[in-house]
């Protein structure tokens, strides 16, 4: 198992497209690192550079302390699982699994042992003599995983391996991949655009946008302490509500005011974000996660300084929870693209709510969980 | 009738139920089929019939079906006495050699241009395409000179099978055909093989070639048929009758033997292409054979 390091890695395509920009990242031995971001953010390109499938334009990639920029794919000792499986269609499952070992001149007995072990681990024993065409999507995905496992490589590289599976199978395979990675203890880079996968699977997640790394941290910390507006909006579903607001100092307390509403900023928040004091009487972007709302009628307490009274414009009952949409007037029209849609807020509240479309609704906000961002740069305001 | 039967057809199942449509269209289809059989299969069956009919009957009653019995000895005489057996063997050797050279050049060139993709691949592709616009007959003389005085080696290929085999490989059409096929193979599979440890040679041998059976079938049929039918080039470069193929020898046989034996020789000459087509026809009809390789 090996640590992987990106040292100022950039990728520029011949047409001038900058797919990855000065990526600095260290992935520890045995760590499960998830690259997450929207399409075109450079996450797959970064992974392919580790695999040796893309040339590195600038910087260096180290695997196990060795610079691999000039090392060919086959000599990097990494295994990759592709989004569309990329199985060899003319070979049986057993041959698919054994192919990499055969090329590396592993002994026949050892190949048989490893193939058998991988097949047992992945529940593929009954399909060893079948060709990929005769397998279901889930089984093919397992074969692709198996092909990586048998190699016993120093790192697994997974490029959206679950995106072609149906929702139920994806949840099942997600857990299996996690379990497998823990058992085998192999350094893994997992690329996905699905933030649920990122949150549930990774030891750490690296959020990327337009080729630039936005934040690297544990899923919990990225969720709780997003580095900027992009990360805050990308991680969490439904996305964080954001709107331009004004911070007002009144009676020694700091209030955040947007539209017709004012919320008192909790002392806990002020202690965590001392820099907020500097924004008194200035505009900020306030972010409230949908889960930090609750129907005032169902909340234990609903003090007026933490309550918004609005009109429910849309109600989406999901069984275990209800999503209510409601309009929030903007303070200014200076919002950057991310905030444009946030004049409609979404709250995730208890299923017993009596909220009805077109009727007034009071919502309590957990003001200890407010997020603040600089309007100009989008950076989160902390210390 | 199944619900989806007739989907995509020109005539819907409802229309098909009307007697006018059924008889009109059905009749037209039957007539067309009969016409195609007469035009396509007719000459072959006629040749087969004539090959085993005595010469006298073929001349006096060409339309009659074996009025005085079959003359199976025509085939025997053609094969042994007129040496069709030897010419047949020459043709087989020429066809196999041409086939091998064509498949070898087409697949390796296609692999280089499509999979390895050197920086100059696009230029090379364009040059290849331009050669397709040059009529083959224009190249006859320069090619002949090359065979008589090949560059770098002081040895004429005239009267050697290499004189037929080597030029056969220089088929831009085959290279373009195979390159386009390789272009459509999923690149992730090649990448998977590279990560699995395959270099270019093993990638070609163990992954690309086995996935290319359909196009190999197509190239093979073209190569064998072209070689089997070729008359002008072997006539020019193979002057020794002992090594000439059937296509070159048939006119001589015609002037030296009776009609029945000549027709038997023609029949023998046409057998291999027919059998070859029957064997390889699946390649024409089969899909790309990539079932399960990738999730589309």
Q: Tell me, what's the pLDDT at B1?
A: 42
Residues of B in contact with A82 (CB under 8 A): 188, 191-192, 294
- The helix (run of H) or strand (run of E) holding residue A335 is none
Confidence of residue B292 (pLDDT cuts 50, 70, 90): low
Structure tokens at A175: 């857990």
Minimum CA–CA partner of B189 in chain A:
A86
Interchain contact B211–A (C-beta under 8 A): yes
| Per-10-residue mean pLDDT, chain A, length 383 | 93 93 95 95 95 95 95 93 93 96 94 94 92 92 92 94 87 89 92 92 95 96 95 93 90 86 90 91 93 92 89 93 87 45 82 92 93 94 87
Query: For residue A290, what is the DSSP state?
Result: G
Distances in Å between the Cα of A202 and the Cα atoms of A173, B61, B147 are 14, 88, 66
- A265, HSE (Cβ side, Cα atoms, 13 Å): 29
Q: Say what angle helices B121-131 and B172-183 make with each other, to 10 degrees.
A: 140
Strand partners of residue A204? A33
The order of strands in the sheet holding A241-250 is A261-264, A253-258, A241-250, A283-288, A371-373
- Which of these, B137, B153, B161, lies nearest to B89 by C-alpha position? B161
A30: closest CA of chain B, how far (Å): 20
> Going by C-beta distance under 8 Å and a sequence separation of 6 or more, which residues neighbour residue B233?
B140, B164, B167
DSSP letters spanning B77-133: IIIIIT-HHHHHHHHHHHHHHHHHHHHHHHHHHHIIIIII--TTHHHHHHHHHHHTT
A89: chain B residues, CB-CB within 8 Å: 189, 211, 289-293
Q: Sheet containing A360-365: give its strands across.
A: A293-295, A360-365, A307-311
Contact at CB, A82 and B211, closer than 8 angstroms: no
- Would you say the pTM of this structure is higher than 0.90? no
What is the distance in angstroms between the Cα of B8 and the nearest Cα belonging to chain A? 26
* Angle between helix A137-150 and helix A108-122 axes, rounded to 10 deg: 140
**Alpha helices (H) in B171-258, listed in sequence order:** 172-183, 187-196, 200-202, 213-229, 232-237, 246-256
CB B113 within 8 A of CB B175: yes
Residue B13 has pLDDT above 60, yes or no: yes
Cis peptide, bond prior to residue A238, ω within 30 of zero: yes
Check CB contact of A136 with chain B, cutoff 8 Å: no
Cβ pair A44, A159 in contact under 8 A: yes
Partner-chain contact A147 B192, CB within 8 Å: yes
Q: Does B116 touch chain A (CB under 8 A)?
A: no
Say whether B211 and A132 touch across the interface (CB within 8 A): no
User: Does ipTM exceed 0.90?
Assistant: no
Q: Any CB–CB contact under 8 A between B113 and chain A? A: no
Report the alpha-carbon distance of residue A60 to residue A56 in Å, rounded: 7
Beta bridge partners of A250: A253
CB–CB of B188 and A74 under 8 A?
no
pLDDT, tens digit, 9 for 90 and up, residues B260-279? 888 988 888 888 778 877 77
Query: For residue B207, what is the nearest residue in chain A, using CA coordinates?
Result: A88
| Beta-carbon separation of A131 and B292 below 8 A | yes
Among A84, A133, A151, the residue with its CB nearest the CB of B188 is A84
End-to-end CA distance of chain A: 37
pLDDT in tens, B219-252: 988 898 899 889 999 999 999 999 999 899 988 8
What whole-number distance in Å separates Cα of residue A23 and Cα of residue A7? Answer: 7
Number of inter-chain CB pairs under 8 A, A vs B: 94
């Amino acid at each position: 198992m090996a640590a992987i390091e990106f040292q100022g890695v950039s990728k520029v395509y011949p047409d001038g497209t900058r797919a990855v920009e000065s990526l600095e990242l260290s992935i520890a031995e045995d760590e499960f690192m998830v690259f997450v971001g929207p399409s075109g953010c450079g996450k797959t390109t970064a992974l392919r550079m580790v695999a040796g499938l893309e040339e590195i334009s600038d910087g260096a990639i180290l695997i196990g302390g060795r610079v691999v920029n000039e090392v060919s794919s086959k000599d990097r000792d990494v295994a990759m699982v592709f989004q569309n499986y990329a199985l060899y269609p003319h070979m049986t499952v057993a041959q698919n699994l054994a192919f990499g070992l055969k090329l590396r001149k592993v002994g026949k007995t050892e190949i048989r042992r490893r193939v058998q072990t991988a097949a047992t681990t992945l529940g593929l024993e009954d399909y060893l003599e079948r060709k990929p065409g005769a397998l279901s999507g889930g089984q093919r995905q397992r074969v692709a995983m198996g092909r990586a496992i048998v190699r016993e490589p120093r790192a697994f590289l997974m490029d959206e391996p679950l995106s072609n599976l149906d929702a139920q199978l994806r949840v099942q395979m997600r857990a299996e991949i996690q379990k497998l990675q823990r058992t085998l203890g192999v350094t893994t880079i997992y690329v996905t655009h699905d933030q649920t996968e990122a949150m549930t699977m990774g030891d750490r997640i690296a959020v990327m946008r337009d080729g630039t790394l936005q934040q690297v941290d544990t899923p919990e910390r990225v969720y709780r302490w997003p580095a900027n507006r992009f990360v805050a909006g990308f991680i969490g579903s439904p996305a964080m509500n954001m709107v331009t607001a004004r911070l007002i100092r009144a009676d020694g307390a700091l209030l955040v005011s947007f539209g017709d509403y004012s919320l008192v900023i909790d002392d806990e928040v002020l202690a965590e974000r001392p820099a907020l004091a500097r924004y008194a009487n200035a505009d900020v972007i306030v972010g409230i996660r949908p889960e930090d709302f609750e129907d005032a009628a169902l909340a234990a307490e609903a003090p007026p300084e933490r309550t918004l009274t609005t009109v429910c414009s849309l109600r989406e009952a999901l069984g275990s929870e209800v999503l209510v949409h409601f309009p929030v007037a903007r303070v200014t029209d200076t919002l950057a693209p991310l905030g444009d849609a946030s004049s409609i807020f979404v709250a995730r509240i208890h299923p017993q709510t009596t909220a009805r479309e077109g009727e007034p609704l009071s919502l309590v906000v957990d003001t200890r969980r407010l997020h603040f961002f600089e309007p100009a740069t989008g950076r989160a305001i902390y210390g | 009738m199944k619900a989806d039967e007739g989907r995509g057809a020109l005539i819907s199942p409802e229309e098909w139920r009307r007697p006018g449509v059924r008889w009109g269209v059905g009749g037209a289809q039957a007539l067309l089929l009969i016409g195609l059989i007469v035009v396509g299969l007719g000459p072959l069956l006629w040749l087969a019939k004539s090959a085993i009919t005595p010469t006298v009957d073929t001349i006096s009653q060409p339309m009659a079906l074996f009025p005085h019995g079959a003359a199976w000895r025509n085939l025997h005489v053609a094969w042994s006495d007129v040496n069709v057996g030897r010419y047949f063997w020459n043709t087989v050797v020429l066809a196999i050699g041409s086939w091998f050279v064509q498949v070898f050049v087409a697949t390796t060139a296609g692999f280089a241009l499509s999979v390895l993709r050197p920086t100059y691949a696009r230029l090379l592709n364009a040059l290849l395409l331009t050669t397709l616009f040059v009529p083959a007959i224009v190249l006859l003389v320069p090619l002949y000179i090359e065979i008589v005085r090949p560059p770098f080696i002081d040895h004429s290929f005239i009267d050697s099978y290499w004189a037929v085999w080597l030029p056969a490989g220089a088929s831009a059409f085959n290279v373009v055909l195979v390159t386009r096929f390789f272009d459509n193979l999923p690149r992730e599979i090649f990448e998977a093989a590279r990560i699995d440890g395959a270099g270019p040679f093993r990638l070609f041998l163990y992954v690309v070639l086995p996935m290319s059976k359909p196009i190999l079938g197509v190239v093979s049929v073209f190569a064998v048929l072209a070689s089997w039918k070729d008359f002008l080039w072997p006539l020019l470069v193979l002057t020794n009758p002992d090594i000439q193929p059937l296509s070159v020898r048939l006119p001589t046989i015609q002037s030296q033997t009776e009609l029945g034996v000549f027709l038997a020789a023609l029949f023998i000459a046409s057998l291999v292409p027919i059998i070859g087509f029957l064997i390889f026809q699946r390649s024409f009809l089969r899909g790309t054979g990539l079932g399960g390789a990738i999730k589309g």
